Structure formats: C-alpha cells, structure tokens
Structure 1
Amino acid sequence: MVAHMWSGSVSLCFLLIYICSVYSTEFVPLFMWESSSESHPKEEIPALATITADEFKDIVMQKLQNKPVVVIFAEESLSVEDFSWKDEAGKGSFPNLESISSESDGLTYLPFVHAPLHAFRHHLPVQGREWYNLKLGPSSLSNDDIALNETLLYVNLDDAASDEDRPDLLKRHDAVISKVYRALAERHGDVLAVYTAHHSSWQTGEETPTRRIRHLLATDLEAGDEKAYGNNRTLLYAPTMILTIGQKSTTLENGIVGGDEDLIINFPDNITVVFSFENTKSPGYWSLQGVHVTVQNELYNFSDVKIGAPLEFSYHCSQEVVFNANDNKLNISNDFQIQPYIDGRRFGAAYDCVYFFTVPIWSGLFVCTVFTIIMIFGLGMIMDIKTMDRFDDPKGKTITINVAD
C-alpha cells in the first residue's frame, strides 16, 4: 500500500514537472505595431512582464475596437535572443522592422507572451470574419491580390531550408514582413500587424556566441554593399580604405571589381588597387603576396604583407590593417576580411589576426604564476615550523604524574 502511494506521488511529481516545463516553453516574444493608433489610448505595459493568454486577449481587444485589418506573421520558433543578435558589423536580423517601428504608431513589444497565436485564432471574436491562411513560398506575397484584399490575414513563415543559417532566415522573413505590411497599409490604411511564433527558439549561452565568433561576416555579400568587393574567386570586406601617397590622403570608394585570380578594384580618379595571392609557400595555406596600387599610371608596391590563412578559411582582423611602403600607406579600418580561391559569395570560417594568447593574457598568466610560486613557498615554510614544548625535553626523563584515587 505504501509502495503504491509512493509510486503514485512520484508519477504525479514528474507529471507536474513536465506540465510546468511545457508551459514555460510556450512563452514567446511578440512584436505588434499599427499603421494608425488614434482610435484608442495607449496603455503602459511592463517591458519584462510575462503576459498570460487572458491578459494578452485584453490587450488585443483594445486594439480591435475599430476593426482594423489584422495580419499575423507566424514563425515556427522565435526568442528574445533573435531580436538582440548582431553580427560583427553591428547589423541585426530585422533592419526592416527597425525602420517600420520608427514610422508606425502603437508599437508594442512583449518579450514573454503565453500562446499568443492561440489567443488570436481561438479566443478573439472576429464578428463573422474568417482567417485567410497563407504559407510563405517562392512567389512574392505582396503580389497576391486575394490575400491583400482580406481583413484577417495569417502568414505562416515556416519555410526554413536545411542549409540556411538562422540570421539569414530571419533577414529573409524580415524583408517579406516589410513588403506585405506596406502593401496592406497602402491599400487599407488601418492595419494591425503582429510578428510572433508558435514556440520559443531559446538557445543555451554556450551555442550562440560560438557561432557568432566563428562565422563573423560569413554571410552572403549583398550586391549593393559598398564595403564589399568580390570577383569569381576572391572576396574582400573593407569598411574604409584610405590611400596616402606622400602627404595626400584619398578615401577609396565606389570601386568597380575585375580580375579572376587576383582581385582588381578600379576606383575613381584613375586609381587601381590589386590584391595578389599565392598558395605555394605552405601546402594547405594561402597568403597575400602583395598589394599593388596604381595612381595616374604610377605604380606603388606594398609587398611587406603578413596576411594568410588555411585554404577555405578567411582572414579577419578587428584592428586597423596598414600596408606600408616608404612614405606611402594603405589603411583599412576595423573588420577587414578577405579570402581568395572561393566559390560563391560567402566567407568561410575566420582566421583572426589577434592570437588567442595576447600580451595581456601572457601578462596575467605570468603574474598568476609568480603569486602561485610565492604562495607555495610560504605554505611550505609555515608547515616546516616546529614549535618547542617547554615542559617536554626529548633528551630528559619523561615526566610522570601519579593520580591518587
């Protein structure tokens, strides 16, 4: 009987733990904005509060008083970390949402909402209106006239590819959200847009930073990015290039890329910069042989270059890179990244110019070693101290004390 009660209690305990864990995983972030919010007053909502389904229903009911067009963009998974993520260039996954948030009224961001999609689909009265379900596909959603004429639009963003990184997926969805929302706002005027997910995509703190450090700018370079240069075999990312010839400095911008094995960039004012590479010195490695700059048909060679990495790896440097030749120099600002012998528009894993054991790290290790040696020596000296007992002489007669009953 006792064993049966004990097993029942254990089963109930595990059931409660399971229910609590499932319940906690259903808290997802929600981003909600409106094209017009003059019809109802704004309510202050604590930024870090957890919102239950009933509380969220009350919030949405206030926003539905004027029967706006409602569009829901539903990810399969989403987390607060997705909104705060940035690459080494400082760019997040939602540039279009940031632009929309600065233009729109009634902006609401709730980081922890319990089952918001369930509240929309099953608990909210829609006065006879039905949801129009639309799944993201290869065609542009903004061209779907039937969908744009609906007043309750549900866009399912479940189209992740197996070879697609999560930041790339979110950036692609961000572009779709912006396009659909602007088309609806232009056609209907009063639009309530919601961006949320079915489940949380929270990751442990050990996974996300590792990915950010390894890949750095390992994303497809955009064709219109003025900081990126690439031909069929070489990629270069240089935020700012400043060429100094004698006392004259020129900022190199708006370059046109050419060349095949070597990267040739033609800049205005008859300036050409050539990055030449080789992979014969060390097997399995590539190196930058030199940088050759031509200004008004006069050639300047920057051959004292120590840049290289294993094949299929890119070279990245978060510090300023300077190529010197006598009084002439070529400065490339922070976040310089380059890789030859590559197919496509994507950098490989980064081989950083800052080694793991930097000067501050070596200094810290040296100081810790010195203190450790001093500590060990001091403890040894303390343990070696022998105290004398004034009442006990090992060379004399043993003291005997008789105790009488």
Structure 2
Amino acid sequence: MASSGRANLLKRNPGTMAVFLGLLSVLIPARCDEQVPVIMWTSEGSAVPRQPPPAAGHIVGHQQLASYLEKALNVGPRNVVLFLQDKMSIEDFTLYGGAFGNKQDGVFPNLEGALQSSSSPLVLPAVSWPASNAVIGQLQDQLETSPLYMDPETLSQLRLNASSPALLVFRLPYGTGSDLLSAKEILSGNDEVMGQVMSIMKSQSVPYTAIYTGLQPSRKEAASLSMEAGLGGGRSLLQARGRYRDRERGRQPAKERPEVYPPVEFKEEGKTCMMLWAKGLTVSILRNNRWEEHDLTKATFEDKDLKLHGSDCDKSKAKLVLNYDNVLGHRSFKLIFAMSQRHYKVSARRWFTLDAVELEYDGTKATFNGSRNIYAPAEYSFRCKSVTNFRWPLLVPRSAKDPANQWRVSFEDFQIQGFNLSGSEFAYASDCAGFFSPGIWMGLLTSLLMVLVLTYGLHMIMQLLTMDRFDDPKGPGISVPQTE
C-alpha cells in the first residue's frame, strides 16, 4: 500500500521527484557509500506497465535489478539509452536537484522533464553499487546485442530501427574533490547531454527506454559513518557493527573476505609454464577526443572461465594470450604477452624479456614494445608497481603509425614470469625500481651540498689570525708606520 501510494503521488505530481528522492535518502538506514540510485523511464508515448518501487530502506541487489530490467524490456522499447555516470549518490539530487524549495538552482531540468512526460518512471534510490556496475552486462544479456559507446554528435549520424534492439551507452563524468561548484557544473553539463540525446531520439521518432545510473557511489564512507554515529546516539565498535551488517546482507566479514586473488596460470602437460598477476588491469581507447576506459581486472583474475587458447611456451619463447568478449565495443579482444629468453655473453647468464604486449581486436593489432624496460634474469620473475604506456612509460608503441597510439594500457602491481617456474608460485622478483631512486639521489646531493658548506666554513675559521700587538690604555698609542 505504501509503495502504490508513492507511485500514485509521483504520477499526479512528477515535479516532486527531487523531494521524493531526498526523503528516501533520509529514510535509508544503511551505508550510503555502498548504494547508487537507478532512474529509468521511457520515451513519450510508450506505454509500459508501472512497476512498484521498493519499500523505503530496501537495498536492491543483482537479481532484483535484473528483474526490474527484464520486466521493462519485455514490454517496453528495446532500444536502450544508458547514461552511465562515473559516480553517483542520492545526495547529488538532494544537493543539486532543488529538493528543498530552491527549484531555480536545480541542475536536472531535462531529467525532470523526461520523468514528467514518461508514463511509467521508476526510481530505485538504493541499489548496491556492484549491481549498478554490472548493468551493462545485464542489459547486454537481455538484449543480446553489444553496447555502442556514443556521444550526441555520433548519435545524430546513426539511424536506429525500432524493430532491432540497440544498447547505446553515454559515459558521463563526475566532479571529484571538495569543490562543490565544479561538481554542480559537471552535473548540469551531464543534464544538458541527456537533453541533447533525448532531443535527437525524439527527432528520429524511435521509442526508447532510458536508464540513468552510476558506476560507483560519489559519497565518502566517512560521511556515512558520521551520520551513523549521530543516529546511534552513543559510542560503538565500528568493526563489530560492520561485521553485523555484513552478516545481515549475507556477505563474509571483512577479515574473512579474500583480498588477494590468484594469478593467471597457463599449464602445458600439467606443468605451469607461465604466470601473470596484477592488482589492476585497464585498457582505454581514444574516441572523439575522449578516452573510454574498461577495467579488465575482474574478467582476468576473478573469472574462472578466462580463455587462454592461443597461448604457447617452450624453453626459448613464450606467448600468453588472454581472450575477452565485448571490450569497448569490440566483440573479439585479445591481450597478448610475447616473451623470450636467451644467453647474453656480456653478463654470462640468461635473461628473459617481455618483447611485446599486443592488443588484437576485430582483426586489428596494436603492438607495444617492452623489451627495453621489462626484463629480468631467466630464473627470476619481473615485478613493477606501475607498467603503462602513458605515465612513465615502460611500454612504447612499435611505430608512429601503429594503432597502439590510440590505446592506453595500465597495469598496477604487475608481475609476470614466463620461464623456469617451479610449481604455482613466482620465483624471486626482479623489481623495475633501481637502487638509486630519485629520492635517494636528492638526499645524497643535499647531504653533499651541506658537507661542502660546512667544510668551507671550517676552512675559513681556521684561516683567522690573532693580533700580535694590542693597545695599552695607560701607555702611548701604538704607532704603525705606513711603510710596513
């Protein structure tokens, strides 16, 4: 009854959307830093059965969000426009949406207009952010089509068909830091982008379903903890409270959750011959003067079904091939590590090098050379805090015309070994950081400068000479001949 009452109120007065969001944000007792709102509506004239919103305080998970999407797409338009903001929290609407009478300061006029014109808007104020982060995959499975990353200029040149489904993704930025004015300006710009997209879709007379959500929350955990402390009215053990919340949500306590996932292993004849590990793995492509980023960490190290077909290793050469699907709009995407080892007469030992890192996508290959910077003794593994091609680059495009110049590859806490593995553990790591880091050199030079100044001062003090004659106030004055 409460849910249907709120739905009827929203239908009679859609202008109260921001107030509705603000009140729900106050009523939600759980941690705000773990939740992302999801707003869904259809184009004007599209009749879709209304779905009841969740009760106040309820957190929508993966399965329930998938159920909402499935019901909407089974009846409503299957051309989906997804506005995916980098960060979003319910507080963004209460702060900048004019929820407390200051409608002239609201930054979501296009969004409010779309909700007013839609026959069945749906607002989910509290969705667990892992579920919202996976919304692209859920839509892709239900529509059975790959996502197309767009911008308003590209959309104006695209001709859509109402009979064939399409998943159009528009990435929106979010202002970070303590500058509230910049965050407000960015949200206002995002609303203008949504207005342009909806205007273009209206001009093409194609019905669509629109979704507006974020990849992760925008509010810090400290703010939510301080709010919990205020509501609690007393002191408590935050660690015990966190374990209690985790137990209620069916998750493992923080101490029991595994923090380190296993490395990628390639075995041949039952023996591990290559291993790869990284704390973070991302790739980005330059499109329309804007970098579009895709995180491959989970798909690489947490997905047990990662395909390694095409990999090969022997005593002198090794090739590790990671196969992905639907990365940045490419149906086929491969990340290839080509390594080799040989004997060097100068050092009288064998060394292995990472000759190249290749990106192979839809028949195109981008190659980064790494042999100049990524190497280690053949019995060791190679480790580096950061391996990129754009910030202190260890990977360099093969040529100025290579497609690699349009890509960015970033590995965080990178470690790899392609030869002489014993069991399923890395050998001793050869780190990319040299013995004399910039900090050490700065300290040595500063110390040397101080020693030189001290030496010069002591030398000047030692050169001082004591006078051999002094004036006697009772006797005649000392006469110093001018000829001396």
Would you say same fold, with TM above 0.5?
no
TM-score tier, shorter chain, comes to: 0.3 to 0.5
Normalised to the residue count of structure 2, the TM-score between the two structures is 0.33
Q: Which has the higher contact order (CA 8 A, sep 6+)?
A: 1
